[in-house]
Structure 1
Amino acid sequence: MSSRRPLRIVLIALLVLAVIVLAGVLAVLLPILTHQSAGGSGQRVPQDFAAESSAEGADGRTRTLSVETADGQPAELDALNPGERLVVRGEGFDSGIGIYLAICGIPASPEEKPGPCLGGIPEGAMTGEADESLLASAWITNDWAWRNFATHGFGENGSFEVELTVPEASGDGIDCRVDRCAIATRADHTASGDRVQDMLLPVAFRD
């Protein structure tokens, strides 16, 4: 009888561990599976190369996306050069929905997410070793389950500030010398079907 007690204790411990692991998995997956779209961002994509744009989304939030050069000068978004440093700022975003920030293709309609995007997932982001001074794209989230993997978090009033290094004009199925592209924000993988965080500032690359 006494020999069965240690085995019973081990089985109970394994069961408790399994429940804890399952609860953790559900805590991560459930918000993704149950997320409801908040609608669109309400932005009319600028027809020029404006360095700032604001729009009131279907959720009632007014989002602003702006960009300047790393030394604080107006950015020439109609003549980007690979390797150029840009500072991108956002205000009014929903900090409960993580976003990706990159140079992406402008979608044909507001119901489609921006993409494909240059830069891909920030190099080193998934290991926490991303060099924030050399990012061609960024992942911004306050979600506890993903924050340690992201490159940035949201500040007060859904704000963020990211320094991007302009990547080469083509790659990942897009060529911004031919295709219409923009500095874009879009919901991350936890709410990929939600268009409420989509904001775009059109860009062109210098020949």
Structure 2
Amino acid sequence: MARERRRRWPWVVLIALAVVLVPVAIVAVPILTHQSGGSSGQHQSEEQWPLSATALGDDGRERRIDILPAEPGATVDTSALVEGERLVVSGTGYDPSRGIYVAVCKIPPAGEKPGPCLGGVPSTEEGEQFEEGSVQFAPSNWINDDWAWRLFGARSYDDPETGTFTAYIEVPSPVGEGVDCRVDECGLFTRNDHTALNDRVQDLYVPVGFAR
């Protein structure tokens, strides 16, 4: 009996390791092997306070974001956002194999990561996944189609084939850690999430200001 238990023990350990390591590998390998897609290709808009932005990225994808009011019939003045104001950000053309953050961030020098961002990064607490079709307004939104990240609060793409998403933004205070959007130039950004932090191909933004 004791000999039989000793024979089983290595298999129990191997199975336990597999249960732990396989999910870790599923999450870690794509992050570690990811290669940058290049630049988003966004150029300065001729309009000072547009409600949309489009760009053809180095990866060949044409991306677009639009800022819409949360209330039907309302209007959005991107030059004078107000804390607590609710916006709907619609995007299309994004790469669904990569997650994105949607938030108000400081506009960086060309080629650098947007930020700091108001409201920080979205929550990654396990169990905070959104129900399909639910609306949850927050200072920043996280879009990621991977089932593993949806367990930690990510919202899935509306249509992965076209890279379409919807984000629900509640405008935060214009002052955050390392950024003051009353003084600094800021924009409502999309950028790759922590699974591809140094990849700038999905950086797209609409310039925003805050009401005095």
- For Structure 1 versus Structure 2, the TM-score category normalised by the shorter chain is over 0.9
Contact 1:41 1:56 in 2 (8 A): yes
Deviations 1:104-142, CA, capped at 9 Å, x for gaps: 000111x1111000011335x423447853301000000
What is residue 158 of structure 1 aligned with on the other side?
163
Look up the match of 1:113. 113
Per-residue displacement from partner, 1:43-100 (whole Å, max 9, x unpaired)?
Answer: 1143611001111111111100110111244410001000001111001111111000
Contact between 1:185 and 1:199, CA under 8 Å: does it hold in 2? yes
Q: Which whole-Å deviations, capped at 9, do the CAs of 1:14-55 have from their partners, x for residues lacking one?
A: 122213322222221111111000111111143611001111
1:179 is matched with which residue?
A: 184
What residue in structure 1 maps to residue 5 of structure 2?
A: 6
Q: Which runs of 5+ in 2 are unaligned?
A: none
Separation in 2, partners of 1:128, 1:58: 36
TM-score for both structures, normalised by structure 2: 0.90
Separation in structure 1 between the aligned mates of residue 97 and residue 177 of structure 2, nearest angstrom: 28
Aligned equivalents of 1:74, 1:57: Cα separation in 2: 29
Evaluate the alpha carbon distance shift between residue 15 and residue 127 of structure 1 in structure 2; reply closer, same or farther with a 3 A threshold: closer
1:44 maps to 43
Distance 2:65 2:150 in 1: 22
Over the residues paired in the alignment, what is the CA RMSD in angstroms? 1.7
Match of 1:98 in 2: 99
Aligned equivalent of 1:139, options 129, 137, 142: 142
2:33 maps to 34
TM-score (norm 1): 0.92
Structure 1 position 161, deviation (Å): 1.1
- Matched AA of 2:148: A
- Percent same amino acid at aligned positions? 44
SS in 2 for 1:55: strand
Query: What secondary structure does 1:158 align onto?
Result: coil
CA distance in 2, matches of 1:92, 1:51: 17
Q: Aligned partners of 2:121, 2:208: CA distance in 1, in Å?
A: 20
Going from structure 1 to structure 2, the CA distance change for 1:183 and 1:31 (only over 3 Å counts) comes to same
Alignment of 1:189-200 (within 5 A): 189-200=194-205
2:86 maps to 85
SS at match of 1:134: coil
